[in-house]
Chain A
Amino acid sequence: MTDEHTTAGGQSYEESVIEASEANRQRFDDGRWTRIFDHFKREWQIYAMLLPTIIWFLVFLYKPMYGLQIAFKDYSIFRGVAGSPWVGWEHFQTLFSNDQFIRAVKNTITISFYNLLFGFPAPIILALMFNEVMHATYKRTSQTIVYLPHFISSVIIAGIVITAFSPTAGIINTFIGWLGFEPVYFLTQPQWFRPIFVGTGIWQEAGFGSIVFLAAIAGVNPSLYESAVVDGANRWQMMWKITIPSILPTILIMLIIRIGNVMEVSFELVILLYQPSTYETADVVNTWVYRQGLQSGQYDLAAAAGLFNAVVAFVLVMTANTLSRRFSRTSLW
């Protein structure tokens, strides 16, 4: 996405600065290190702003990688990471010979697929709909209402869901009762878990997720719409021919990010909503890791499962990025 805002007559201010500094650099070209030093001296404020993020990455994402080695060790908390003996691929063998783990992987992918299929378009559709709302107060009010669930914690969301789907007091079953059917104990039936879980996710996050698309829509050049009006296009045509193509790069970037998170189903919500009777469809890798690894202290096995998760996510995001770059010239890097 390049910036088209150059002034008609000549260079922008930034360009003249860059040109001046280029000239400077050529004049005093006394070595690479001086150039780097000069660069930092000149741009230090930008790097200072970058610093917190770099520190965050180092402390929370790179330092913990040291601990990944316990996936290949017989880890004892008392002996520590360095003191525990190596066991090679043993934990991975345990994982892949465990039917429940395989099932958890399948469930994770299935739930993520549904999330992608139904959950990904939802905020886009919502954003397009908001874009068509003309009445300002109505628009603001409804936007606030759909953003709200995002700020409610998962525990409370789960409480609302459990109550709403309760077979005796829940609003859903009350409706079903009015229609003359028997109440359904939704949360103990495996076939209902995924629809409820995916639906809950959409209800909670679609509003907040639409913000980024609304921002993209706001960036569309108004002159495009003006000329479309002149050409006699209706709103539907403008949406299909202008709005959607204009925000397509944003959509693709969001999709790539989303694909990278395919293995990350929001497991706190799963834990709060699942039951042994719904493990069959609800048990995802992270909940399995929680039960097997953390509750029973098998950190090494949990680390192996986590590493597997990360590798799959890495491959997925690489693939999506490559495909996107090839077919649409939009990519994360």
Chain B
Amino acid sequence: MRKLSLLAALLAGSAVTTPTFADGHLMIVDEPLELTIQMNHARYPIYEESWPVEQAARELTGIHLINDTVGANMRTDENTGRTEALNLMLASGNIPDIVGSSRIRDFVNQFGPEGAFVPLNDLIEEHAPNIAAYYAERPDIEAAVKAADGQMYYVPYLPDGKYGRAFWIRTDWLDALGLEMPETVDEYEAVLRAFKTQDPNGNGEADEVPFFARQWPELIRLVTLWDGRAHGSDTYHDFLVEDGQVTHGYIGEGYREGVKNLARWYSDGLIDAEIFTRGSSARDFLLSENLGGATHDWFASTGGYNSLSEKIDGFKWEAMLPPASPSGRRIEEHRRILVKPDGWAIGHTNENVVETVKYFDFFFTEEGRRLANFGVEGQHYEMVDGKPVFTEEFLAQGPVNRSLYQAGAQLQARGYFQDYDYEWQWTNEFAKAGIELYEQGDYLIPDFLGVAFTADEQQVYDRTWNSIRDYMLERQQSWILGNGDVEADWDDYLAQLDEMGLQELLAVMQSAYERQYGAK
């Protein structure tokens, strides 16, 4: 296998564009082998045997994946209830050979040690040279996927690219009001206030919504403008690590300062009055109605709204750098996380464990990775100068991401290493300009990659965290909406959190963190 992957690298390196289907150097089995799979992720609820990527993988490896997903919610595009589907699968007593899902990490880390999933450390060492090579380079990621017993139970989906969300603003409104691009939080506030009071959309009404967000936790992220912290990773309300200590953003001084100011912004009308209930259509509605002034959202999809310039005269919507906090720090809290809690695992009843691990490894080979990222050569992309480039016809088919899901590529529940180039090829110019703007500085901060608990630690977490989170969010929303004053309530708030077991929880997180990543 080691030799074979070397060959694969050679083949790719020499830019061979002929289909690699025939030569069979990636073949894992002599006779076709069928493996069952449960696959259910954020974008798609089952595994389709007709996917071109599955067909190609069959040709290359000889392994056929047979869909055996339970609990799929086929009625929605935005597939929900993945965790419930996993629980249902486990409760049914029938675990397929392969289980792939979003948010699979906590699940396999809990039930893997109980015996439901196959531990992968030795298998990867012996049979998966490409995965092993990846982990040899990234020991931090290897540490992040391990369970409390030191075993890996899943092969993760590894996103590529650095940037996720950014600050966006209507630059044509800035021009219309004769304002400069805001560089500090005070300037940002002045701009938002001008959006509210000086009628930049020119309809004679003060109906502008200066700051809005599709997901209200993005509003909380603004506490970074006052040196606070909100979300420690791309999971909202997550913990974070400061100087080797696990802590939470919602107990920091900067957070208090931030919430105090956000409450003021809210009561002054600088923040969407319906921020907590408007929901996912906020961006679409407020931008296309020429009402929204600024938000914090994904580069690529948000930049795409510049097509509204056909409808709204002069519409210009650009990324801006994070405004500097009073102490002069500029932070973009959100980034693409290095390793997702998504991926796939091997069920304990699997009789072909070695072949399965080799199959997992296939997606870390040059060809496998290309297949998982770009789809099938000739059908979705062509090789140009040794690089896969999407064909014009494929890009014209509509949203590229969705077309790829529908071909079986870019599945978040498959363990593979994403290639950001797949996205860059069709990223709109506004998002590209924004990313290049952010590239000029150093605004990103490290993500918290999560910890795996022992059974005892898990109990403490289960008992305390949900209640603590509920309480934090309850107070947070109340303060911002003006029901209560964060300055006056702060000491009681901290005391109540301690009473609910926050210190105990942080101690447990800390010991798990040190076990997983080593004490600092």
Contact = CB atoms under 8 A, between A and B. Distances in A.
Interface of A: 76-80, 94, 98-100, 162, 166-168, 183, 185, 187-190, 275-277, 279-280, 283, 291-292, 294-298, 301
Contact of A94 (B114, B463, B473, B476): B463
Contacts of A277: 276, 474, 477-478, 481, 483
Contacts of A189: 481, 483
Given A94-B463, A298-B462, A276 B470 contact: yes
Contacts of A280: 474, 478
Contacts of B84: 294
Nearest to B477: A277
Contact of A279 (B93, B111, B474): B474
B471 interface: yes
B500 to A, nearest CB: 8
Contacts of A98: 467
Nearest to A167: B273
5 contacts: A167-B274, A185-B481, A277-B474, A277-B478, A301-B462
B511 interface: no
Given A76-B111, A100-B467, A277-B474, 13 more contacts: A77-B87, A77-B91, A78-B114, A99-B500, A100-B471, A167-B273, A168-B273, A185-B481, A188-B276, A189-B481, A276-B474, A276-B476, A291-B470
B470 A296 contact: no
Contact of B276 (A80, A275, A291, A298): A275
B277 interface: yes
A76 B112 CA distance: 12
Given A185-B274, A188-B481, A277-B481, A77 B90 contact: yes
Interface in B414-457: none
B277 A275 contact: yes
B116 interface: yes
Contacts of B116: 78
Contacts of A94: 463
B83 interface: yes
Contact of B277 (A99, A187, A292, A296): A187
A168 B483 contact: no
Contacts of B471: 100
Contacts of B483: 189-190, 277
A94 B501 CA distance: 12
Interface in B292-334: none
Nearest to A186: B277
A187 B276 CA distance: 9
B24 interface: no
Contacts of A301: 462
B466 interface: yes
B274 A166 contact: yes
A187 B477 CA distance: 12
Interface in B56-84: 83-84
A297 B87 contact: yes
B115 interface: yes
B476 to A, nearest CB: 7
B474 A77 contact: no
Contacts of B467: 98-100, 292
Contacts of B474: 276-277, 279-280
A183 B273 contact: yes
A283 B273 CA distance: 23
Centre residue among A80, A100, A162 by max chain B CB count within 10 A:
A100
Centre residue among B90, B116, B466, B471 by max chain A CB count within 10 A:
B466
B296 to A, nearest CB: 20
A294 B471 CA distance: 18
Contacts of A185: 273-274, 481
A296 B87 CA distance: 11
A284 B514 CA distance: 38
A294 B93 CA distance: 19
A183 B269 CA distance: 12
A283 B84 CA distance: 22
Interface string B115-159: 110000000000000000000000000000000000000000000
Contacts of B90: 77-78
A277 B479 CA distance: 9
Nearest to A189: B483
B62 to A, nearest CB: 31
A58 B327 CA distance: 67
Contacts of B93: 80
A83 to B, nearest CB: 10
